[in-house]
Amino acid sequence: MKVSKLASLVIIAGVCLGMLAGCGGGGSSSSSSAKNKKEIVFWNPFTGADSENIKKMINEYNDTNPEYKVKNVAMKEIDMYKKIPTVVSSGKNIPDLNIVHAERIQQYKDSDMLITYDDVLGDYSDIKGENYVEAAWDMGELDGERYGLPLDIHSWGTYYNKELVKKYCPTALDDNIVTFDEIKEAGKKAKADKIAAIGVTWVKPNFLSLLKQNGGQLSENGVDPTLDTPASKDSIGIWRDLYESGITNKDGEDATQIFVSGKSIFLPEGIWAQNTVNEAEFDWGFTNSPQVSDDLSKAVNWSSSHQFVMFKNDERTDEKIQGIMEFIDWLRTNSLEWAKAGQNPASLDIIENEEYQKMPQSLYINDPKERETLTIFEYKYNGYVSEYLETNGFDTVFGKKSIKDFTSGMEKEVKEKIAKDKTNK
Amino acid sequence: MMSVAEKAKGKKPMKVAIKPWLFLAPHLIIFFIFFLIPSIFGVIVSFTDWDLVGTPEFVGLSNYQEILFNQDSIFYEQLRIGLKNTVLFVIFTVPFCIIVPLLLAAALNAKPKFWKVFQSLFYLPSLFAISAVAILWTMMFNVSFGPINHLLGTDIPWVGIQPYAWITLVVVTVWWVIGGNMIIYQAALNGISKDFYEAADIDGATSIQKFFRITLPAIKGQILYTVVMTTISQFNVYGQPLMVTKGGPNDSTRVLLMYIQQNAFGSGQSIAGMSSALAVILGLCIMVVSAVQFVLLRNKD
């Protein structure tokens, strides 16, 4: 009797301790084994349809029997960005290689979280600016040091319904650029048939592309925002105007759904949205995002880039860094799979590929003049601007917030959040 | 010299003391690791300026001062808007989260045909994750393809304008949380002796009289418990406005936790100190409201 009681207590205590160990120690034990393993722990935010493509690429690379095999650790973007500061400041379980968005590199660099590629780049003569899309390559270099190497450049553009274009604006796409004036003209004609000219989509790329076309910029000195400007007002104003003219989808309607069901002519969306657009039963095309002018040299297509970075980690050996470089160099010439995910690989090697040439997004990479239009908005506090646009953009386009309040509110919010940042001081 | 009896006496309390602790241990350990330690840590962070990466800089009460008194600060605005909307959400949802499950429990208690099927159906939504619930109702309330507008013959942009955005949130929330409270009420109703109702029948009481004179007083304890617990959980509202209304229209459903989350884990540099201070203020509000509720409901004895 007593023995069994004692035994049950021991078991309870054992379970408790086990739970404790499960909570605290689990992670570190796996990291110590990883340290000795010849393995590159690779964190990335590819959890959607693109997760299959990245898995395929990694498997293919591992099949080449490299000294250091790559271990894919994909997690949701929001979770990954939450984890990064925690693991880097704790010094434990830091990934060997990480994909981050190009706009975030400066923040990480200023917080002293990254190491450079400068010491090893010399051994890989093909990893150089000429072999990559310029906009993506440039984002990896800060103050003359290279912190990021680009995997891709993913851009904003316009999907169009070929039949509806033929019906309402047959000449609009002759130059491969649809202007806001052309959209308005088409909208007037299409309105009678209850067809929207354009869908109101993600405000951030729509707004930022216009901001640059209107001569504005996020910041003049790289720190203080310049967001309460006429250019800023004009940029959001163009979208407000489209909505008020009654030629967009209604507030609350899903622009993509409307487009796919054949009820709008144009849909500004990212190149990565092809899988969704493919659900449409009509013939669709892809072109530059809507522009103010039809002059290609003035065109702006909002872009971002997934970049390889290495967070500071004492356990990463020089040999492992070589292994990482081997992997990145291999991807440079083996990135067709990534294009299949709807992305544009940053490596220009892809241009030679015939299969790629047939993909709609190749429009941006094939022609050097198109490449010039790809713009990544480099600003350390890009994140604060995004947050504001996410929460206030649609309200302003749909007439619930005044344009004046929108721009002044953005300037104020970004400024005050920057004031809390110590990495500048 | 100590007698054997005394020795045994001295030992006994020791034995008694260990056992309950061992049984409490699993809960306590979880409580310490996932609640108490992070809470204390959060309070400490609220006195600092910290971006989650560098060394936190102690700034005393300046975060609180800015949030509570600096009217020009966006963080003051965040607290004002966020707290107002959180309180509105609590006021709008809590009564329905009590009344609807109570009525359903009373109805099920009469044991109509298929009552077990209905019980499972009512309970089912509380097993879903909020993201699934939000996606489901976003489709239901969709302006052009949604069945609700179709049924009503309207074209209301439910999440786009007020007061519809609030109505949407209340419907989603009540549907989601019915189950938990309903089960508690059902158990309580089962415990009421049939004798009371028989006696009331003999005296000729109506069913409404029976409900208010017998049923409600008998389950007062459970109602008190559910009111307090529901209020606390609704104060922590996050998922519904985040996913269904996205805080709109014009920030009118943006609740405090959304600001707290964005400041600390948004796409920009983390402002964790300020965020923690906002969270501590929210925590204090919840404590005060719960205490007041407790006192008010107790005094009715």
In this structure, what token pair is assigned to residue B57? 């800089």
Q: Which of A10, A58, A73 is nearest to A334 (CA)?
A: A58
- The CA distances from residue A149 to A55, A196, A328, B262, in Å, are 19, 41, 8, 28
Partner residue facing B157 (CB), from A89, A251, A386: A251
Question: At the topology level of CATH, where does A156-299+381-419 sit?
Answer: D-Maltodextrin-Binding Protein; domain 2 (3.40.190)
pLDDT above 60 (res A307): yes
pLDDT above 60 (res A46): yes
Q: Work out the angle between the directed axes of helices B272-299 and B220-235 (0-180°, nearest 10).
A: 160
Say what percent of chain B tops pLDDT 70: 94
B26 touches chain A (CB under 8 A): yes
Q: Work out the angle between the directed axes of helices A77-90 and B256-265 (0-180°, nearest 10).
A: 60
Task: Dump the DSSP string for A117-169.
Answer: SHHHHTT-TTSSGGGB-HHHHHHTEETTEE--EESB-EEEEEEEEHHHHHHH-
How far A266 CA sits from the closest chain B CA (Å)?
Answer: 19
Q: Which of A417, A418, A423, A424 to mutate to test the interface with B (most CBs of B within 10 A)?
A: A417
Q: Which residues of B touch A107 (CB under 8 A)?
A: 268-269
The residues spanned by each domain of chain B are: 4-45, 80-299
B24 touches chain A (CB under 8 A): no
- pLDDT digits 0-9 by tens, B103-117: 999 999 888 899 999
pLDDT above 70 (res A91): yes
Partner residue facing A9 (CB), from B22, B74, B266: B22
* pLDDT tier at A32, thresholds 50, 70, 90: very low
Q: Which of B190, B192, B210, B191 is nearest to B200 (CA)?
A: B210
CA gap A165, A64 in Å, rounded: 47
**What residues have CB less than 8 Å from B252, skipping those under 6 apart?**
B85, B162, B165
Contact between residue A191 and residue A167 where contact means Cβ atoms under 8 Å apart = no
* pLDDT tier at A33, thresholds 50, 70, 90: very low
Q: Is A268 exposed, middle or buried (0-12, 13-18, 19+ CB in 10 A)?
A: buried
CA gap A376, B112 in Å, rounded: 64
Q: Does the predicted model carry a pTM greater than 0.95?
A: no
Q: Work out the angle between the directed axes of helices A203-213 and A382-397 (0-180°, nearest 10).
A: 100
CA gap A389, A412 in Å, rounded: 13
* pLDDT tier at A29, thresholds 50, 70, 90: very low
Q: Which residues of B touch A394 (CB under 8 A)?
A: 246, 248
- pLDDT digits 0-9 by tens, A195-242: 999 999 999 999 999 999 999 999 999 899 999 999 999 999 999 999
Length of chain B: 301
pLDDT above 80 (res A253): yes
* pLDDT tier at B14, thresholds 50, 70, 90: low
For position A45, what pLDDT does the model report?
96
The lowest-confidence range among A4-13, A136-145, A248-257, B241-250 is A4-13
Taking an 8 Å cut-off on Cβ atoms, the answer to whether B52 and A81 are in contact is no
- Chain B residues 82-101 with CB within 8 Å of chain A: none
Task: Dump the DSSP string for A300-340.
Answer: -EEEE-EEEEEE--TT--HHHHHHHHHHHHHHHH--HHHHH
For position B16, what pLDDT does the model report?
64
For position B20, what pLDDT does the model report?
87
Any idea which architecture B80-299 has in CATH? Answer: Orthogonal Bundle (1.10)
CA B98 to centroid of chain Cα atoms? 12
The values of phi and psi at residue B280, to 5°, are -65, -40
- pLDDT digits 0-9 by tens, B240-284: 999 999 998 999 999 999 999 999 998 888 999 999 999 999 999
* pLDDT tier at A4, thresholds 50, 70, 90: low
Taking an 8 Å cut-off on Cβ atoms, the answer to whether B269 and A107 are in contact is yes
How far B283 CA sits from the closest chain A CA (Å)?
Answer: 22
* pLDDT tier at A11, thresholds 50, 70, 90: low
For position B27, what pLDDT does the model report?
92
Mean pLDDT of chain A: 90
For position B205, what pLDDT does the model report?
87
pLDDT, mean of residues B29-45? 93
- Superfamily (CATH H level) for A38-153+305-374: Periplasmic binding protein-like II (3.40.190.10)
Taking an 8 Å cut-off on Cβ atoms, the answer to whether A416 and B75 are in contact is yes
For position A5, what pLDDT does the model report?
57
For position A21, what pLDDT does the model report?
44
Say what percent of chain A tops pLDDT 90: 82
* pLDDT tier at A57, thresholds 50, 70, 90: very high
For position B185, what pLDDT does the model report?
95
How far A169 CA sits from the closest chain B CA (Å)?
Answer: 26
pLDDT, mean of residues A335-340? 93
- pLDDT digits 0-9 by tens, B94-105: 999 999 999 999
pLDDT above 60 (res A15): no
Q: Which of A205, A219, A217 is nearest to A414 (CA)?
A: A219
In this structure, what token pair is assigned to residue B114? 């298929």
The residues spanned by each domain of chain A are: 38-153+305-374, 156-299+381-419
Domains A38-153+305-374 and A156-299+381-419 share a fold: yes
pLDDT above 60 (res B35): yes
CA gap B223, B226 in Å, rounded: 5
Q: Which of B67, B158, B258, B269 to mutate to test the interface with A (most CBs of A within 10 A)?
A: B269
pLDDT above 80 (res A6): no
CA B269 to centroid of chain Cα atoms? 30
How far B6 CA sits from the closest chain A CA (Å)?
Answer: 22
Taking an 8 Å cut-off on Cβ atoms, the answer to whether A420 and B271 are in contact is yes
- Chain B residues 143-202 with CB within 8 Å of chain A: 143-145, 155, 157-161
Taking an 8 Å cut-off on Cβ atoms, the answer to whether A420 and B274 are in contact is yes
Q: Work out the angle between the directed axes of helices B74-109 and A403-419 (0-180°, nearest 10).
A: 100
- pLDDT digits 0-9 by tens, A380-401: 999 999 999 999 999 999 999 9
pLDDT above 70 (res A260): yes
Q: Which of A3, A21, A18, A16 is nearest to B22 (CA)?
A: A16
CA gap A155, A205 in Å, rounded: 9
pLDDT, mean of residues B166-184? 95
pLDDT, mean of residues A247-266? 93
Within a 10 A sphere around the Cβ of B223, how many other Cβ atoms? 18
How far B207 CA sits from the closest chain A CA (Å)?
Answer: 45
Q: Which of A75, A391, A398 to mutate to test the interface with B (most CBs of B within 10 A)?
A: A391
Taking an 8 Å cut-off on Cβ atoms, the answer to whether A85 and B26 are in contact is no
CA gap A130, A41 in Å, rounded: 29
Interface of A with B (CB under 8 A): 9, 12-13, 15-16, 19-20, 23, 78, 81-82, 85-86, 88-89, 107, 111, 113, 250-254, 257-258, 381-384, 386-387, 391, 394-395, 398, 400-401, 412-413, 416-417, 420-423
For position B55, what pLDDT does the model report?
86
pLDDT above 70 (res B182): yes
